[in-house]
Structure 1
């Protein structure tokens, strides 16, 4: 095993970023707020499909209509208890698996951040633990921010890091995490647990989850205004040096429209009422004998890829969360749904109507829905 000192005095002290309270999360990100990184949806899509990595630029933040904001609030009111129970189920599993006081939460910015904030609040309220919580970057095709990992391990010797995200699609980020942890052990001799805790795991690619149902997590409906006003993370050689954290922008100009803290407050209100049921569900999940990671969702996506003649599987984005992202910041071709009357699909159907994207029912879909990005290089049959 290679022995390498993780302490690096050149690692930057985290700069205050985002609209969450510091006791809820600390972002290990380089502030790129002054850099012009946004590109229009069509231009960005063309660049991505022609080989530019998505992390080298940012989408223009979608400004939701009043109708869509109302739908977000309606969805939050109807699902807050369900989200709270999923958070509690995950948190109870984490506490049961990690009985020491070395727990450190590392949420994958940005979709994982509100979930990490909620898990931390639950653990802080219902145990004698108050785990540090950081927001860090992981990027498909490039890996995890190793400087962020080094910082956490330096600040918390012996840390037992629990990675957190919002949901799974076909499992791409889980695979990146597995590869990144293996690389980190090879390079630095430190073994990290590649378990990824998520609220919803319809793709069946995570061992720690709240539910396998593909239900609507309201934070999937919005971008920075429900994620601490933080952009997607950025990794570009001319902006990020060897001792820098991955970058992001802090959209202070959206402060009046920020819903981040109100969102987590609304869900946390239900923690006490769901605690007993969540604890029982967590114990049941921990006692299961079968391997919870089957990658079933990926098999479903291969069928869609074949049925629609799509060359690049990365253009198929399954699940409510990923489909919402397609509609908010990519160029959609069509949306597949399991049932047009599925109540989880109201925001999807509204966004699709707003953008003029066709919606089709697709038989035997594992997920509630699936977004297909428009291929710009070939004609789809």
Structure 2
């Protein structure tokens, strides 16, 4: 597209500042300037709409867009899995999310295909397969199935949920393989999980020395490790080993939060998936036992959010939605807005997430020189944060200066 201007919108720039009525000029995929300008190009009238930066989801699973148990039991074809992944990618853009961090499940081919513009979708940063200890969280094979057969569940170039490591040397080898396949950061599971059969939330997985191997390999490539962790012991192991981010953090206590803040380790809580699993376990393609495991998690994660804020931890935002029902990704902002202010939820989903993803020089705020990733909302989501949850309210989505959705 050539240069254009969006006029008449109330602009919420993602920094936490109050909305201002200002024109936004876009050129060469970037924001050229804020304020009235005699710049050439088309004028898009956005009167009555609210503009925010493109939203960022720091915890997605595009590769888990089919019913989960059937997908990993070879009951769904590669063609259908691909169709589901690409449908989720398009729906993510339609919900106002222009950038996501995929924390396990897709292989590099998906990232490349979306980046080439062959299918609609957000910019994707991916860890490729999650790194797990043998039999730990992230393993969905049958109990009788030998571990070495698990990687045959991968569909090269499309989906690869996890890799199993029995020791530090195997982890080093698997991490290097993940980078070879196009990972841009790493994710390790260092505690049990909610969606799993072989472990409990109280389990810790991987030793400090093992986690440190992944940190070392990531540092060698100028990137970082994030860790799936629900309990304090696992979080402490990960922080001690040098990870940069914790996912979930369900049972985080004050001393552990203080440790995280001191080491500048970020936290990405995930509330939407908890609601999803409480209300529609079967819809995600999971058994009823998963629902039992999730009971009480919402309350504890709410407490963890408060504890982390009090300690001064940098807190991002992630939905962690899994299975076919990933259309209402903005629900995460609505849920967070109930626990904080709507503005705090928006800043977490824009500026803070951009910082966590290492993209703060490109996206996350509306300012000259930044990439033109923008959403125009029908109404003011700061006054009514339920607007974030319904993709129909994202009436115009701009990604890298291109209009990718327009319901005006």
TM range (shorter): under 0.3
Structure holding more strand per residue: 2
The TM-score normalised by the length of structure 2 is 0.25
Structure holding more helix per residue: 1
